[in-house]
Amino acid sequence: MPRFAANIGFLFPELQFLDRFAAAREAGFRAVEFAVPYPYEPQLLSEKLRENGLECILLNLPMGDKAKGDFGIANRPERREEFREGVPLAIRYAHALGVPKMNCISGTIRPGEDHAKLRAILIDNLRFAAREFKAAKLDLVIEPLNTHDVPTAFLTRSPEAVELIAKVGAENLGLQCDLYHTAMMGDDPAAILQSLRGSIRHIQFADAPGRGEPGSGKLDMPKLFAAVDAIGYEGWLSAEYNPTRPTPETLSWFVR
Which residues carry out catalysis?
143, 240
DSSP 162-181: HHHHHHHT-TTEEEEEEHHH
User: How far is Cα 5 from Cα 31, in angstroms, rounded to an integer?
Assistant: 5
Please, is 214 exposed, middle or buried when counting C-beta atoms within 10 Å of its C-beta (0-12, 13-18, 19+)?
buried
Q: Could you tell me if 161 and 155 are in contact, meaning their C-beta atoms sit under 8 angstroms apart? A: yes
Distance separating alpha carbons of residues 181 and 116, to the nearest angstrom = 23
Q: How far is Cα 4 from Cα 31, in angstroms, rounded to an integer?
A: 8
Task: Specify the amino acid at residue 125.
Answer: N
Q: Are 49 and 55 in contact (CB under 8 A)?
A: yes
What's at 67, amino acid-wise? Answer: A
State how far the Cα of 124 lies from the Cα of 105, in Å rounded to an integer.
14
Angle at 66 between CA 65 and CA 68, to 5 degrees: 70
